[in-house]
Chain A
Amino acid sequence: MTFISRRDLLKRAGLAAALPVAHPFQGHDAHSPAPVTERPPETPALQPQREPLEHLTAAESDVLDAVVARLIPTDEHGPGAREARAARYIDRALGGALASSRQAYAAGLAALDRYARSSRGAAFAQLSPTDQDSVLIDVETGTATGFTGSSAAFFNLVRTHTWQGTFGDPYYGGNANFVGWDLIGYPGIRTVVTAEDQKRLERHELKPNHKSAYDTDMFNKATASAAPRGGDHAD
């Protein structure tokens, strides 16, 4: 990405990784967490397949997926937000903790795509990465037209949720294959850290455990539904 340096972004995202269960939501079967551990870490990230959408339309999902792919792009540091399935996280969360943003996404994604077509001559997803970045700069700086209110507000909304979807706990539908945690060198949630673990961590030799918080018994699966399906806390 150009206007958000990846290094700066990762610094800011470190907090998100340290708080991986802060955004519970409904709309995801609490007993069927995302299939995040099926692929060995050394397997190259695959292009995401179209999955059933829960709240976004296919057109909205296409634009959103293209946006998150530029906010945290795949580069020499590894897979980015697209591979982390940040858009999937947002799609699911729009039925739960992010439900109040559903209309903002409908209006904002439509406005962004209209602006891409009018200013650069093609749908956002069809633009070159450079033109996509240029469009996103306009959205970020509030100079893009056609938005309800400032386009900058919509940019900030999507950026925040992209961080959540990339660096949050995989249980919530993002951070697929732990690519977000691997990207920032987060070794995973541990209930016990030995002195030797600490030394390995300081030497950057501590192997990531690639476990969701909900893989341990001490964390309850969180829901935000009106009628919780179990668990006595939501974060």
Chain B
Amino acid sequence: MRGALAAVALAVVMGAQTAPATIVVTSPALRADQPIPRDYTADGRNWSPPLGWSGVPAGAKSIAVVCEDPDAGNPPPFVHWVIYNIPSSATGVPENIPFEPGAPMPAQMAGAIQGLSGFRRPFYRGPAPPPGKPHHYHFVVYALDGSVDLKPGLTRAELLDAIKGHIVGQGELVATYERKPA
């Protein structure tokens, strides 16, 4: 009986949590389900692409962005970019976020931190899939409430673990890239 009551209480608590709001993710450079331009890949300049977003809930305090490829990785997804602590006032990120340690972030992103990608590097590295089929790159934007203390150097898994229960908005833009056989 006591167990049943506890289960009901837990269900009530979980039910009280509202589903994350939907964030619309856009880009002046990327198109949904279309190939990523070369400049944002390892075949080009390997710049991080520009992103924009709307629909961030008023209560959000910060933004996190992850770029992941579920068509690669062991286990999937392979992670190309992790960046967080972006002020919630930002409505996007410009292209070519610096990879040099200590390089200043763009003003609207002051305080943002880049976490570790699947390359074990704290910056964006673009698509470089093995030839054979197009891969899908998910640029996922998370809006977070104010109670998350995110330390530098987090991987995607560590970030997602840390922000569990603190996501108040979420959305993604999916683009593709394929390398042809040499």
| Residues of A near any B CB (own CB < 8 A) | 2-3, 5, 118-120, 130-131, 133-134, 137-138, 141, 143-146
Contacts and interface: CB of A to CB of B under 8 A. Distances in A.
Interface string B111-129: 0000000010100010010
A41 to B, nearest CB: 29
Q: Which one of A5, A130, A134 has the highest number of Cβ atoms from chain B below 10 Å of its Cβ? A: A134
Interface string B89-101: 0000000000111
Interface stretch (B13-21, B37-45, B55-63): B37-45
Given A134-B99, A137-B99, A145-B182, A3 B121 contact: yes
Contacts of B179: 145
Given A143-B128, A145-B182, A137 B45 contact: no
Of A2, A5, A131, most buried by chain B (CB within 10 Å of CB) is A2
A187 B119 CA distance: 37
Looking at chain B, what size class is its interface with the partner chain?
10 to 19
Contacts of A145: 42-43, 128, 179, 182
Given A119-B43, A143-B42, 9 more contacts: A119-B44, A119-B45, A120-B44, A120-B45, A138-B128, A141-B121, A143-B119, A145-B42, A146-B182
A2 B43 contact: no
Contacts of B46: 119, 134, 137-138
B101 A134 contact: no
Contact of B43 (A118, A133, A141): A118
A70 B100 CA distance: 13
Contact of A141 (B44, B100, B125): B125
A160 to B, nearest CB: 19
Contacts of A141: 119, 121, 125
Given A131-B45, A144-B42, A145-B182, A137 B125 contact: yes
A130 B99 CA distance: 9
Contact of B101 (A5, A120, A130, A131): A5
Nearest to A135: B46
Contact of A2 (B45, B100, B128, B182): B100
A118 B43 CA distance: 8
Nearest to A120: B45
Nearest to B100: A2
Nearest to A134: B46
Contacts of B99: 2-3, 133-134, 137
Contacts of A134: 45-46, 99
Interface centre among B42, B119, B125 (most CB of A within 10 A): B42
Contacts of A2: 99-101
B101 A119 contact: no
A119 B42 contact: yes
A134 B128 CA distance: 14
A181 B70 CA distance: 47
Interface string B171-182: 000000001001
Contacts of B45: 119-120, 131, 134
A141 B123 CA distance: 12
8 contacts: A118-B43, A119-B42, A120-B44, A130-B100, A134-B46, A137-B125, A138-B46, A145-B128
